[in-house]
Chains A and B, each alone.
Chain A
Amino acid sequence: SYVLTQPPSVSVAPGQTARITCGGNNIGSKSVHWYQQKPGQAPVLVVYDDSDRPSGIPERFSGSNSGNTATLTISRVEAGDEADYYCQVWDSSSDHPEVVFGGGTKLTVL
């Protein structure tokens, strides 16, 4: 089965740029989606199809995907961005496509 690897934690000072990676075999050939989950809340989609933003998501959130790594970039980080972030893809290697989530990355704003 397909595996997505995320760093357990990333720390960044306010106003700086946070980069959260998501590794997978040839992940650049897949569409990657990113979800933000704040404590006690449901996940919220922040980037879909590698780099598109849903309405209402600040332009500070951006995504890229190439080779074996997808990256969620959060510019000008704010205290309110502190959350867990999950990447997600579909594994279509079998007859029935399966959903795969990364293990999640906890973003700490120092």
Chain B
Amino acid sequence: QVQLQESGPGLVKPSETLSLTCTVSGGSVSSGSYYWSWIRQPPGKGLEWIGYIYYSGSTNYNPSLKSRVTISVDTSKNQFSLKLSSVTAADTAVYYCARITMVQGVRWFDPWGQGTLVTVSS
């Protein structure tokens, strides 16, 4: 059973770059059947999709964040990562990584990591 685990600093200063890693266990990021994604949730608010990556390195980002987001994959470590630059307090959120399963053109998020809270503050 595949499991995902986020890791990274819980506190980032304004204007700096937020960096998180998602480690995949029980499965491989190199599997062609899946995409790997980041989603965030500000405190008390709803879910916001950030972007996703395929094992080949192909990416797709939320247009509202595209200028600041980079998602990469490291198949040797079975990990994928998120970088969000020039952060502000509005980027304070719980950040989730999730696997995207695709079957006959239909895609959904399952499973999700437990999430990690990142606070942007000086």
Residues of A whose CB lies within 8 Å of any CB of B are 31, 33, 35, 41-45, 48-49, 54, 86, 88, 90, 96-104
Contact = CB atoms under 8 A, between A and B. Distances in A.
A104 B42 CA distance: 13
A43 B95 CA distance: 12
Nearest to B97: A42
A49 B112 CA distance: 18
Contact of B112 (A31, A44, A90, A99): A44
Given A98-B62, A98-B63, A101-B46, A42 B113 contact: yes
| Chain B, interface residues (CB within 8 Å), range | 20 to 34
Interface in B94-111: 96, 103, 106-111
Interface of B is mostly: strand
A99 B46 CA distance: 13
Contacts of B106: 31, 48-49
Interface in B56-82: 60, 62-63
Given A96-B60, A101-B48, A90 B110 contact: no
Contact of A43 (B60, B63, B103, B112): B112
A41 B96 CA distance: 11
Given A33-B109, A98-B49, A104-B47, 10 more contacts: A31-B108, A42-B112, A43-B112, A49-B106, A54-B110, A88-B47, A101-B46, A101-B48, A101-B49, A102-B46
3 closest cross-chain pairs (CB), A and B: A99-B49, A45-B110, A42-B112
A33 B39 CA distance: 15
A29 to B, nearest CB: 13
Contacts of A88: 47, 108-109
